[in-house]
Amino acid sequence: MSDLLNRRLALLGDAAHLSLLTQCLHGIERETLRVTADGRLAQTSHPQTLGSALTHEQITTDYSEALLEFITPAEPNPADTLADLERIHRFAASRLDGEYLWSPSMPGLLPEEADIPIARYGSSNIGRLKYVYRQGLALRYGKTMQCIAGIHYNFSLPEAVWPLLQRLDGDSQSARDYQSAAYIALIRNFRRYSWLLMYLFGASPALDASFLRGRPHRLQQLDADTLYLPHATSLRMSDLGYQSSAQEGLTPCYNDLASYTESLRRAVATPYPAYAEIGTKDANGEWLQLNTNVIQIENEYYSSIRPKRVTRSGERPIQALMSRGVQYVEVRCLDINPYLPLGIDLNQARFLDAFILFCALSDSPLLGGGECRGCTDNFLKTVKEGRRPGLQLQRGAEQIELRAWAGELLEAFAPIAALLDRAHGGDAYQAALGLQQRKVEDPSLTPSARVLAELQARGERFRDFALRQSAAHAATLREQPLSAAEEQTFERMARDSLAAQAELERAENGDFDGFVAAYQASILGIDI
């Protein structure tokens, strides 16, 4: 371990500060497709019994009307976060009439592109903006790609930690700038080591052949309807997933917050010829996309991790970061584990805490162009062939076997897991670390290996495996109904969200064109 990491761990391990490690905040966003009883994409509207996708704080939709997103509050204890997520799942499962929550990240048999329903959010200007943004995504990347689902893990260190670390570092920046710089340093280290998460938790080594829509590929045929790679961990995170030639030049290396926000601001303001050719409206004056720039809004930039700040009403994400700095990070590269009803469990969450804290507390030199490319190469190599025996990754000027490097990293995480156990009591964090160590020693224990082994042993198509898991999870969730009080809470949230959307639409002022113009100008520094 580095001297800096040792000194920071000693500081946080001091009796006066140890309890701070119980105050980190965790939030989870889990996406999942609604499918019919035979595994086809649901063509039904977002269920009214779940509330308004526009205004509900915990149950919304992502790209498609059929792509649900469950959002937990931020909690200090990851066990509480998982309990929140489970309650949302149990409520939703009880309200789906003849439909299931799809168990893996990759979709099953999809309808024709035209028949994949884009999410709708009502007639308010903000609701229409969300819809037009998704129309733009369909034009730019196709609807099929937007049906991939994942898990986002949000994490923040307690605010009281940063002044302690700043004094230890002898840093003279403002408190806000120090905190932002520390989170950006965390992200640099995440870029260095996130290949490990793909090895340990990647769960999409195979996909339904229909997903590729006849596009050329280098996948192998498992059966007539299933494609795979023998050592893949996460085809979702490979170049078969989200692709954008427009975004190829938009890869911030996270050397400071200002360059990150400026690169996104520039992308939102820079026309892209292929999108300009389409235009923002069709011949009838109907909106097609919000603008013709490299990205329409900040969220269109696809990355494995993002610096975040909770936004105020009417504020855009970049504005929040620029005015008040980084508040937390959003880890976006996690596959849904098809063996788990929630797609994630407490052992994974505890390991993620240790992993992210290691990234936050370790040395994090700036990323030069060569190292930045190396991080990307290591990540892509792992998602496509992470379980290949003897696979080599690039570490600095040297090649190192993935398994050896993974072992070294897990060893470096051990003091952090021990410190977390001291703070929380018990040995749950060290036990979670031990589970991952076994996956490094035996790749057959990884979710990606388990999925492939099961498909091969049963002679089962990917779509049939996924449907079987989806039905099993539905049964598990419905066997454990919510208490009457919990049920009433969710029913009230649904009613309140529908009322809030109706009020938003009733009180709407101004036309949509003006609303879009003002929204675009807000990030460009233009006065309207």
Which of 281, 301, 305 is closest to 291 using CA atoms? 281
Q: Is the dihedral of CA 224, 229, 231, 234 positive or negative?
A: negative
- What integer pLDDT is reported at residue 527 of this predicted model? 32
Q: Which of 355, 412, 413 is nearest to 193 (CA)?
A: 355
CA dist list (Å): 367 to 109, 221, 383, 426: 41, 39, 22, 37
Long-range contacts of 468-475 (CB under 8 A, 24+ apart): 469/103, 469/104, 469/338, 469/339, 470/35, 470/39, 470/100, 470/101, 470/102, 470/103, 471/100, 473/93, 473/100, 473/101, 473/103, 473/340, 473/341, 474/93, 474/96, 474/100, 474/101
CA distance 470 to 453: 18
Token pair belonging to 118: 């884009």
Q: What is the DSSP letter of 42?
A: P
- DSSP annotation of 152 reads E
Please name which of 352, 60, 305 lies closest in space to residue 185, comparing C-alpha atoms. Answer: 305
Residue 153 parent element (H or E):
strand 151-156
The neighbour count for residue 410, using CB atoms within 10 Å, is: 22
pLDDT tens, position by position, 207-261: 999 999 999 999 999 999 999 999 999 999 998 866 667 777 676 668 899 989 9
Neighbours of 191 (CB within 10 A): 25
Enter the DSSP assignment of 248: T
Burial class (CB within 10 angstroms; exposed 0-12, middle 13-18, buried 19+) of 384: buried
Please name the residue that has the structure tokens 């893949």.
Answer: 232
What is the number of residues in the chain? 528
User: What pLDDT was estimated at residue 315?
Assistant: 87
Q: State both tokens at 92.
A: 């939703």
Number of H helices, E strands in the chain: 17, 12
Quick one: 490 exposed, middle or buried, by C-beta within 10 A (0-12, 13-18, 19+)?
Answer: buried
What is the CATH code for 3-523? 3.30.590.20
Dist CA 196 CA 393 (whole Å): 11
Q: Given its phi and psi angles, is residue 99 left (phi above 0), alpha (psi -120 to 50 degrees) or beta?
A: beta
- Tell me the three state secondary structure of residue 507: coil
Q: Of 146, 118, 138, 116, whose CA–CA distance to 40 is shortest?
A: 116
Residue with tokens 């937007």: 146
Cα separation, 344 vs 201, whole angstroms? 9
Asked if 108 and 466 count as a contact pair (C-beta separation under 8 A), the reply is yes
Amino acid at position 373, single letter? R
Q: What is the DSSP string of 315-381?
A: --HHHHHHHH---EEEEEEEPP-TTSTTS--HHHHHHHHHHHHHHHHS------HHHHHHHHHHHHH
The pLDDT tens digits along the chain (528 residues) read 689 999 999 999 999 999 999 999 999 999 999 999 999 999 999 999 999 999 999 999 999 999 999 999 999 999 999 999 999 999 999 999 899 999 999 999 999 999 999 999 999 999 999 999 999 999 999 999 999 999 999 999 999 999 999 999 999 999 999 999 999 999 999 999 999 999 999 999 999 999 999 999 999 999 999 999 999 999 999 988 666 677 776 766 688 999 899 989 889 999 999 999 999 999 999 999 999 999 999 999 888 999 999 998 878 899 999 999 999 999 999 999 999 999 999 999 999 999 999 999 999 999 987 888 999 999 999 999 999 999 999 999 999 999 999 999 999 999 999 999 999 999 999 999 999 999 999 999 999 999 999 999 999 999 999 999 999 999 999 998 999 999 999 999 999 999 999 999 999 888 999 999 999 887 765 332
State both tokens at 453: 């082994």
Pairing mode, strands 305-308 and 220-223: unpaired
Longest dimension (CA), the chain: 68
**CA–CA distance, 312 with 320 (Å, rounded to integer):** 8
Residue with the two structure tokens 């986002």? 152
- 18-66 pLDDT per residue, tens: 999 999 999 999 999 999 999 999 999 999 999 999 999 999 999 999 9
